[in-house]
Chain A
Amino acid sequence: MEKRLETIIALELPYRETLKIQRRVYRGGSGPRVAVTSGIHGDELEGLYVCHRLTVWLEELGRTRPDALLGQVELYPGLNPLGLDTLERNVPVYQNDLNRYFPGHPGGLLPQRIAAAVMDHLQGAALVLDVHASNIYLREIPQVRVDRRFSDALLPMAKALNMDLIWLRSPAQVLDTSLAYNLNQRGEPCLLVEMGAGMGLTPAFTEQLLTGILAVWRQLGVLAPELELPAPIQQAIIADDNIHYLNAETSGLFVPAVANGSLMAAGQPVGHIVSPFEAATLAEVCAPANGLLFTLREYPLVYEGSLLGRIVATPTTK
């Protein structure tokens, strides 16, 4: 097994520093290439830990069964290294979301050049997993989001990914300037994973995803078919048009009454909104339907309209 660290693009900064986007590559045989990308948003760290855990697993494989890596694994832990290093979601200086720059342009602005280099290097991948960690405002259960236009190719892999939820997204819910959309559009399957919350790690979620990733890679022929792996145990709930959004009726402090991932009964309290100036509760937030609470407010301060949670109603398993 060959292991190398590569720089996919290096860009000069104003004062003597260079911004590099790097990837770790493990090459076994000439089988399919797969990739994991993360850190498009500088406040999302879960994917960085996923990449670390994959390096641990792959290096152990290199010691024990190097022949079992039939293809190539590419890990891109930080697509927005400036944002990660400075605790900023967007690309610093440009104040814009890197995931709004794809497919990019090799002769454009710095974020467009990064996007173009990433697209260029992912050409021909059999599967790209783009791992996100929500943001600082919301916590997500482990879920994979599938663009409905490409669901024939993506859904079988999504089901094997050991996630709690598969969210089938309509075209209106998918940004056509995102990495995932542009890869899928070009013919490279890309699954978007969301789990945890911004600025934190949830190691249990990482282990759950790791099991799924290895199972999918074995299905794809990246790993030898006889390689023994932990079996995926999660049977994902499918979310489609059966999602209820809980938006704040008023501004204040949101205090949750349940944990994210709870199965809710219609009318059951999800939490309430209070004011630091008042004894009275400003608003009660209740589940509008039976279902799984898969998103829950993490940052307590809310404005009118702030998203407090999402519930997938009447869960059905497929």
Chain B
Amino acid sequence: MPTLLNMTAPLRDDFDIPYHDLGPQDRPPRLAIVAGVHGNELNGGFVLSRLADFLAQLQTRGKSDQTLRERVLIIPAVNVLGLNTRNRFWPFDKININRMFPGQTNGETTQRIAAAVLNVTRQAYYRVDVHTSNQDTEEMPQVRLYGPNDDERATACLFGLPAVIERCTNSMLTNTLGHVWRQYGGENFIIQCGLAGALQAHHCETLFRGLVAFLNRTGIVTGLTLAEDEDDLHYFGLKQSFAIISEQAGIFVSRLNVGRWVQAGEWIGDIYDGFSGRIRAQITAPAPGLLSSLRRQPLLCEGDLIARLLTARESGDSVDQILHGQGQ
């Protein structure tokens, strides 16, 4: 099994960051997919491990009608120690690995990890970094594009995930893997899917189907039959996103699921006073839209994100632009 890097540890065994290198080894990688840059994001890593198994079986089964034609690199978990200790960040010095790119081969520990990830993945033409939001907010499976080119806009739709969301780049993202990949050309995508700290089987299934669809539609895998009619894709450009920010603190409760369309004025949830038990505020949709993000952490501070609506018309606001650094 190839590995990104081997590293000693103060007391434990040496550790490494293994990855899958599948398909024709005499070609440069066509696709690199990364997950688990944050140790508490589980959906992406689980799906990537299942995808690696699927592709490995495709290789060994040797069926003539279903073929892995291109080389694919899959890294199910970058932050291995974080995953094993349920830490979002690199557990030793609490550093967010996704703020350390491009990294440095001889630098600090997390810079070395970042440099190793970049060194392997930059060879690929298509690059995908899969995230699972954070432990506060559940995200509907979606592709996010930051300052994309036309090729990326078109290719993002090949995943067939429920939404493609376009955003400007912002200063919070400068040292992320997705941002630094852009220096190496190719086509780069961020996928957000679910809620950190747990697995959501239904989101994992959607993501798995999306990745397989992408492999098939880009010709990396041939011979698969996709249920094309299942795609319910919507593209949301700049300003087609509305962040609902709480102006009151309390306990937030909602029974809605992400991925459903809501009407203007429709109930989204209630904020309760945690002492008196009374409802402090009712949260309703400010515009009709697709409920792409919803708060699952009930404890709510003033200024917290409650939900995000993707809107058919340009009704977004400046707040949502800066919030898009969250969860990455």
A105 partner residues in chain B, CB cutoff 8 A: 318-319, 322
Q: Which of B242-279 contact A (CB under 8 A)?
A: 245, 248-251, 274-275
Residues of A within 8 A of B249 (CB): 11-15
In the complex, the 3 A-B pairs of residues with the closest C-beta atoms, listed nearest first: A12-B249, A305-B109, A251-B8
Instruction: Collect the chain A residues with CB atoms within 8 Å of residue B112's CB.
Output: 304-305
Contact A100 to B172, CB < 8 A, known contacts A14-B251, A109-B305: yes
Label chain B's interface by main secondary structure: loop
1/0 per residue A265-280: CB within 8 Å of B? 0000000000111000
The reply on A55 being an interface residue by CB < 8 A is no
Shortest CB–CB separation between residue B46 and chain A, in angstroms?
Answer: 22
Render B305-323 as a binary contact track against A, CB cut-off 8 A, 1 for contact.
Answer: 1000000000001110011
Instruction: Judge whether B304 and A302 touch: CB under 8 Å.
Output: no
**Residues from chain A with Cβ under 8 Å of B305 in the complex:** 109
Q: A15–B171 contact, CB under 8 A?
A: no
- A interface, how many residues as a size bin? 35 or more
The answer to whether B319 touches A108 (Cβ under 8 A) is yes
CB distance from B306 to the nearest CB of A (A): 11
Chain B residues with a Cβ under 8 A of chain A: 7-11, 88-89, 92-94, 96, 99, 106-112, 134, 171-172, 174, 245, 248-251, 274-275, 299-305, 317-319, 322-323, 326
Q: Quick one: closest B residue to A245, CB to CB?
A: B107
- Taking CB atoms, residues of chain A closer than 8 Å to B88 are 95
The residue on B at minimum CB distance from A17 is: B249
Residue among B245, B275, B303, B326 having the largest count of chain A Cβ atoms under 10 Å: B303
The answer to whether A13 touches B109 (Cβ under 8 A) is no
Chain A residues whose CB sits within 8 angstroms of the CB of B11 once the complex forms = 276-277
A176 touches B174 (CB 8 A): yes
The reply to whether B108 and A306 contact each other, CB–CB distance below 8 Å, is yes
Given contacts A89-B94, A247-B108, A305-B109, contact A110 B303 (CB under 8 A): yes
Chain A residues within an 8 Å CB radius of B89: 95
Known contacts: A137-B93, A177-B172, A251-B9. The answer to whether A109 contacts B108 by CB under 8 A is no
Contacts beyond the supplied A108-B323, A251-B10: 19 A-B pairs with Cβ under 8 Å: A12-B248, A13-B301, A14-B249, A14-B250, A14-B251, A14-B274, A15-B275, A95-B89, A107-B317, A108-B245, A108-B322, A109-B305, A301-B10, A301-B92, A303-B92, A304-B7, A304-B8, A305-B108, A305-B109
30 A-B pairs within 8 Å (CB atoms) are namely: A11-B249, A11-B303, A13-B249, A13-B302, A14-B251, A14-B300, A93-B301, A95-B134, A105-B318, A107-B318, A108-B303, A109-B305, A112-B303, A135-B93, A177-B171, A177-B172, A250-B8, A251-B7, A251-B9, A252-B8, A277-B11, A301-B92, A302-B10, A303-B9, A303-B109, A304-B109, A305-B106, A305-B108, A305-B112, A306-B109
Are B304 and A305 within 8 A (Cβ)?
Answer: no
Bound Cα distance A113, B303 (Å): 8
For the complex formed, measure the closest distance between the CB of B112 and the CB atoms of chain A, giving whole angstroms: 5
In the complex where A100-B172, A247-B108, A305-B107 touch, is A110 in contact with B302 (Cβ < 8 A)?
yes
A residues 69-96 in Cβ contact with B at 8 Å: 89-90, 93, 95-96
Q: What residues of chain B lie closer than 8 Å to A201, measured between beta carbons?
A: none
Give the chain B neighbours of A250 by CB distance below 8 A: 8
